[in-house]
Amino acid sequence: MSKMPSFQISRRFLRVWQRNYVVYQKTWKINFLTPLLEPLFYLLAFGYGMSALVGKVPFEGEELSYVIFITPSLLAIAMMYNAFFENTYASFVRMYYQKTFDAMLATPLSLHEVITGEIIWGATKSLIATAIMLGVVTAFGLVHYPQALFVLPLSFLAGIAFGSIGMFFTGVTPSIEAFNLPIFLFVTPMFLFSGTFFPVAGLPGWAQKLAMVFPLTHLVNATRHLCLGSMNADVFWGVLYLAVFSVVFFPLALVVMQRRLIR
Amino acid sequence: MNKVMLHVIETRNLRKAYGDFVAVDDVSFHLLPGECLGLLGPNGAGKTSTVRMIYGFSPMTDGELQVFGLDIRTDWRAIKARIGVCQQENNLDPDLTVIQNLQVFARYFDIPKAAAKAKAGELLHFIALQQRQKDTVTNLSGGMMRRLVLARALINDPELLILDEPTTGLDPQSRHQVWERLEELRANGLSILLTTHNMDEASHLCDRLIIMDHGKILVQGKPSWLVREYAGRDVVEVVNPSDELRSFVRTQPFMHDDLGRRIIIYGQEGEELFERIGRHFCKDDCIMRMATLEDVFLRLTGRELRE
């Protein structure tokens, strides 16, 4: 009986997704407000305030205006934040304080379905936020279609990758305060150094190598190419990197949650 | 009648160990269809660990466990679909309203939307909460929450209801409300397994009781039989007993507990003996009363604090 149970996932994980969707709908106006206003604030501050200082940014032999440069970064950061925070703080509250998972486990759902439903929900939030933000930056004429449409499926994949790693931290964190650690050591460095606000090439050599490990670097890069209207090998490598990242961290999240909750 | 449904639950040498600590130690019992079986025991006796294995929450360490004639290790999903569970904590969904708690929970059982809606309405009526269906659950009182947890456990029309301390922390009014609902369910033939450390609850609701301690079953039987067998019919409690009474009691065949400040004497048939004690040894500080389940419980599980 001590052997690890095999992964037990059926389409029932959608029931868990639906539960979160019902809750989300109750406050959709507030939920929509952040992705609607956030890009506006950033574009105002960085795009118009900073671009006078920054001038043009070199990217793949082109000279981009700073606004054009950071628009894909804002989308990519939103994908990371929405999924990561959903599957850390929000999932932890449901698991630890509200005992929502315990109640679900007294039904035909398996723990793996509960966790899968949570991660897919995190990815869905990433998709919703990205769609709204894409609408905003489109209104400013900052992205190229039809390539930019591929940002939407990309946001879902990125949501699975960042949600899985978030859920992994939820499985091992001793308390809700301890999330500060992965945020400080993992999320914030990515936010700053993943080619988001300046090109990775601006970093010293060793830091460039480190930045290439960050999934956000690959996500920003792929998103940038798509927003600029190019569908090339960099997009493919970005997708591949996120897929591999998900393939590693999704099962890992299931394992640590199983160890945490099934006693 | 189908052979496999002879027993709703059947366990043989069921064990649960957490590392070196054995929470449930070779427990064997069964639950008959339509029966209300109570697991009674002090905190840490292994009641919750036992029921958690039965509703597929905790993997068992060793032994046999069948529910509806199916093995929990392989057929957990089919079993869980036919069980209703009230866990110890009120883990209602605070992000949802009263009615949504039932409807969203129904989805976990794949109950179609229309059927779930009808069932939720019926259950709200059953627990007298129709008026509050749009309320968030955090606005409900403790008793209302407990009734809603009960309703939620019934959403899938279970064949077996498992209740883990269903009335702990409730005021007497709310407790009786819950009991009434449970009695009605029992009268309708629902099989019930409940854990409790409330003696009233156990004798009130249960056809049969299992008294557990330290992960083992001490005794099992009908409440009235347990009382007769382990505490007799009548009880005399003598406060500040005299030495004469002490030595008298020791020479007599009846059961007694000497607590120092108090002697509790359990009498089987002995009305004469009791009269003698009353005449010779009691001034004002004697209480004669019926033996209760609490006497049985304390005699079997001891009087030390469990913390």
Q: How many domains does chain B have?
A: 2
Kindly state whether residues B242 and B153 are assigned to the same domain.
no
B165: left (phi over 0), alpha (psi -120 to 50) or beta: left
Write the residue in B59, B89, B100 that is nearest to A22 by C-beta: B100
Structure tokens, B290:
């019926």
Structure tokens, A259:
């160890």
Q: How much of chain A exceeds pLDDT 90, in percent?
A: 76
Q: Check A108 against B110: CB less than 8 A apart.
A: yes
Distance from CA of B191 to the nearest CA of A (A): 17
Q: How confident is the model at residue B307 (pLDDT cuts 50, 70, 90)?
A: low
Cβ atoms of residues A165 and A251 within 8 Å? no
Q: Given this model, what pLDDT does residue A102 score?
A: 95
Report yes or no on A25 lying in a domain.
no
Report yes or no on A185 lying in a domain.
yes
Chain A: residue nearest B93 by CA? A100
Report yes or no on A16 lying in a domain.
no
Q: How much of chain A exceeds pLDDT 70, in percent?
A: 97
Q: Given this model, what pLDDT does residue A16 score?
A: 96
Over residues A163-168, the mean pLDDT reads 98
Mean of pLDDT over chain A: 92
SS3 A132: helix
Residues A119 and A114: their CA atoms lie apart, in Å, by 9
Does pLDDT of B102 surpass 70? Answer: yes
Taking alpha carbons only, the member of B39, B42, B20, B16 closest to residue B29 is B39
The continuous run of DSSP H or E covering B262 comes out as: strand B262-267
Does pLDDT of B256 surpass 60? Answer: yes
Over residues A103-124, the mean pLDDT reads 96
Chain A: residue nearest B75 by CA? A108
- The angle formed by the CA atoms of residues B241, B245 and B247, to the nearest 5 degrees, is 125
Q: How many domains does chain A have?
A: 1
Does pLDDT of B247 surpass 60? Answer: yes
**In this structure, how many other beta carbons lie within 10 angstroms of the beta carbon of residue B185?**
20
Domain that holds residue B8: 3-224
How do strand B83-86 and strand B160-164 relate by DSSP bridges? parallel
Kindly state whether residues B273 and B202 are assigned to the same domain.
no
Q: Check A109 against B89: CB less than 8 A apart.
A: no
Q: Check B96 against A22: CB less than 8 A apart.
A: yes
Over residues A92-97, the mean pLDDT reads 96
Does pLDDT of B185 surpass 80? Answer: yes
Kindly state whether residues B254 and B211 are assigned to the same domain.
no
At which of B197, B224, B251 does a domain end? Answer: B224
Q: Given this model, what pLDDT does residue B270 score?
A: 58
Between helix A215-227 and helix A66-85 the angle, nearest 10°, is 130
Q: How confident is the model at residue B208 (pLDDT cuts 50, 70, 90)?
A: very high
Q: How confident is the model at residue B283 (pLDDT cuts 50, 70, 90)?
A: low
| Helix, strand, coil abundance in chain B, percent, nearest 5 | 40, 25, 35
Q: Check B60 against A263: CB less than 8 A apart.
A: no
Taking alpha carbons only, the member of A217, A233, A263, A258 closest to residue A72 is A217
Chain A: residue nearest B59 by CA? A263
Kindly state whether residues B72 and B176 are assigned to the same domain.
yes
Kindly state whether residues B207 and B246 are assigned to the same domain.
no
Mean of pLDDT over chain B: 90
| Contacts for A247 with CB less than 8 Å, ≥ 6 apart | none
Q: How confident is the model at residue A181 (pLDDT cuts 50, 70, 90)?
A: very high
Kindly state whether residues B216 and B262 are assigned to the same domain.
no
A173: left (phi over 0), alpha (psi -120 to 50) or beta: beta
Report yes or no on A63 lying in a domain.
yes
A15, A19, A107: best to mutate for the B interface, most B CBs within 10 A = A107
Q: How confident is the model at residue B183 (pLDDT cuts 50, 70, 90)?
A: very high
User: In chain A, how many H helices and how many E strands?
Assistant: 13, 2
Does pLDDT of B1 surpass 60? Answer: no
φ, ψ for residue A218 (rounded to 5)? Answer: -70, -35
Cβ atoms of residues B195 and B164 within 8 Å? yes
| Contacts for A179 with CB less than 8 Å, ≥ 6 apart | A88, A89, A92, A169, A173
Does pLDDT of A1 surpass 80? Answer: no
Kindly state whether residues B49 and B196 are assigned to the same domain.
yes
Kindly state whether residues B44 and B184 are assigned to the same domain.
yes
Report yes or no on B128 lying in a domain.
yes
Does pLDDT of B264 surpass 90? Answer: no
A219 or B204: which carries more pLDDT confidence? A219
Taking alpha carbons only, the member of B104, B148, B143, B146 closest to residue B126 is B148
**In this structure, how many other beta carbons lie within 10 angstroms of the beta carbon of residue A32?**
13
Residues B280 and A160: their CA atoms lie apart, in Å, by 82
Over residues B185-199, the mean pLDDT reads 93
Report yes or no on A157 lying in a domain.
yes
Q: Given this model, what pLDDT does residue B269 score?
A: 63
Burial class (CB in 10 A: 0-12, 13-18, 19+), A241: buried
Over residues A166-187, the mean pLDDT reads 95
Taking alpha carbons only, the member of A239, A199, A201, A183 closest to residue A70 is A199
CATH code of residue B217: 3.40.50.300
Kindly state whether residues B126 and B272 are assigned to the same domain.
no
Q: How confident is the model at residue A130 (pLDDT cuts 50, 70, 90)?
A: very high
Report yes or no on A48 lying in a domain.
no
Residues B105 and A118: their CA atoms lie apart, in Å, by 16
Chain A: residue nearest B158 by CA? A107
Q: Check A22 against B104: CB less than 8 A apart.
A: yes
One-letter amino acid at A199 equals P
Report yes or no on B301 lying in a domain.
no
A102–B contact, CB cutoff 8 A? yes
State the SS3 of A40-109.
HHHHHHHHHHHHHHHCEEEECCEEEEHHHHHHHHHHHHHHHHHHHHHHHHHHHHHHHHCCHHHHHCCCCC
Q: Given this model, what pLDDT does residue B235 score?
A: 85
Q: Check B108 against A105: CB less than 8 A apart.
A: no
Q: What is the pLDDT of residues B265-280, one digit of tens each?
A: 887 765 666 677 777 7
Report yes or no on A80 lying in a domain.
yes
**Sheet holding B160-164: strands in order across?**
B83-86, B160-164, B191-196, B36-40, B208-213, B216-221
A11–B contact, CB cutoff 8 A? no
A27–B contact, CB cutoff 8 A? no
Complex confidence, ipTM: 0.89
Q: Which residues of A touch B55 (CB under 8 A)?
A: 106
Report yes or no on B160 lying in a domain.
yes
Q: Given this model, what pLDDT does residue B16 score?
A: 96
B254 or A252: which carries more pLDDT confidence? A252
Distance from CA of A188 to the nearest CA of B (A): 30
Q: Given this model, what pLDDT does residue A138 score?
A: 94
Structure tokens, B179:
């009991």
Kindly state whether residues B70 and B211 are assigned to the same domain.
yes
Does pLDDT of B49 surpass 80? Answer: yes
Write the residue in B62, B80, B152 that is nearest to A1 by C-beta: B62
Does pLDDT of A6 surpass 70? Answer: no
Distance from CA of A108 to the nearest CA of B (A): 5
Write the residue in A1, A19, A102 that is nearest to B104 by C-beta: A19
Q: Given this model, what pLDDT does residue A110 score?
A: 93
Q: How confident is the model at residue A30 (pLDDT cuts 50, 70, 90)?
A: confident
Does pLDDT of B4 surpass 60? Answer: no
Report yes or no on B295 lying in a domain.
no
Taking alpha carbons only, the member of A163, A178, A33, A160 closest to residue A91 is A163
Taking alpha carbons only, the member of A104, B176, A263 closest to residue B166 is B176
Q: Given this model, what pLDDT does residue B306 score?
A: 67
Cβ atoms of residues B55 and B153 within 8 Å? no
B78 or A55: which carries more pLDDT confidence? B78
Domain that holds residue A73: 56-261
Q: Given this model, what pLDDT does residue B250 score?
A: 81
Kindly state whether residues B59 and B168 are assigned to the same domain.
yes
Q: Check B105 against A107: CB less than 8 A apart.
A: yes
φ, ψ for residue B81 (rounded to 5)? Answer: -65, -20
Does pLDDT of A121 surpass 70? Answer: yes
Q: Which of A51-65, A243-257, B160-174 has the lowest mean pLDDT?
A: A51-65
Kindly state whether residues B215 and B249 are assigned to the same domain.
no
